[in-house]
């Protein structure tokens, strides 16, 4: 394996120490030891490759839950339980900030999971959420064509005061490309 992949696999697997597997089949993971948010989408993306390789069902469990909690406007919620720097919320009480890199990551991980597992049933289940997500992305990108006034993974205070960020922008462009590929796979000529 190339060094970059070995390095990623070794370092990403270290995150498993904060994972929880419940008797009802749910797979959950703390954001970090210093933040008690549960399964924040943007942090999952930094550690998901070993899960896709070795435990793809754990990623699917999270993806289905993120889809379940998708807002009516198409935005994917930041996390399953909010509590970072405060009390832990009850189990699966979704919420969080309006972020420019969460819905994009959901779209990208849908494509990645499909590519790596070839699970078309999963893709069919996720596709309506991808379409709603890309519509939300476009709705928050009306002035510049890039997501505007949203928070991002890097937790810089009041990042949303700025029109856009580099990270949110390239994640948005990647999600647009992923959506194009997913619409092609789904024979969707409308989206």
Strands (E), the chain: 19-21, 27-32, 35-38
Of 70, 97, 87, 81, the residue nearest 160 (C-alpha): 97
- β-sheet with 27-32: strand ranges across: 19-21, 27-32, 35-38
pTM: 0.89
**CB-hemisphere CA count at 13 Å for 39?**
28
Instruction: Write out pLDDT tens, residues 76-112.
Output: 988 877 777 777 777 777 778 888 889 999 999 999 9
Q: How far apart are CA 160 and CA 96, in angstroms?
A: 14
**CB-hemisphere CA count at 13 Å for 5?**
5
Q: How far apart are CA 191 and CA 148, in angstroms?
A: 22
β-strands 19-21, 35-38: how paired?
A: unpaired
Domains of the chain in sequence order: 3-185 (1.50.10.10)
Instruction: Write out pLDDT tens, residues 52-78.
Output: 888 889 899 999 999 999 999 999 988
Report the run of H or E that residue 57 belongs to, with start and end: helix 56-68
For the cut 80, the answer to whether the pLDDT of residue 15 exceeds it is no
Q: How far apart are CA 99 and CA 121, in angstroms?
A: 28
């Amino acid at each position: 394996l190339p060094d970059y992949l070995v390095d990623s696999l070794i370092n990403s697997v270290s995150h498993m120490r904060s994972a929880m597997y419940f008797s009802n089949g749910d797979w959950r993971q703390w954001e970090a030891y210093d933040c008690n948010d549960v399964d924040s989408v943007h942090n999952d993306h930094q550690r998901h490759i070993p899960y896709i390789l070795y435990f793809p069902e754990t990623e699917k469990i999270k993806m289905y839950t993120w889809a379940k909690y998708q807002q009516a406007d198409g935005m994917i919620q930041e996390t399953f339980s909010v509590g970072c720097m405060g009390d832990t919320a009850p189990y699966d009480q979704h919420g969080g900030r309006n972020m420019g890199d969460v819905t994009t990551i959901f779209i990208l991980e849908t494509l990645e999971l499909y590519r790596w597992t070839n699970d078309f049933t999963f893709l069919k289940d996720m596709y309506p959420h991808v379409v709603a997500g890309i519509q939300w992305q476009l709705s928050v990108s009306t002035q510049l064509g890039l997501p505007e006034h949203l928070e991002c993974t890097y937790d810089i205070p009041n990042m949303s005061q700025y029109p856009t960020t580099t990270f949110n922008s390239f994640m948005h462009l990647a999600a647009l490309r992923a959506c194009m590929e997913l619409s092609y796979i789904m024979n969707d000529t409308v989206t």
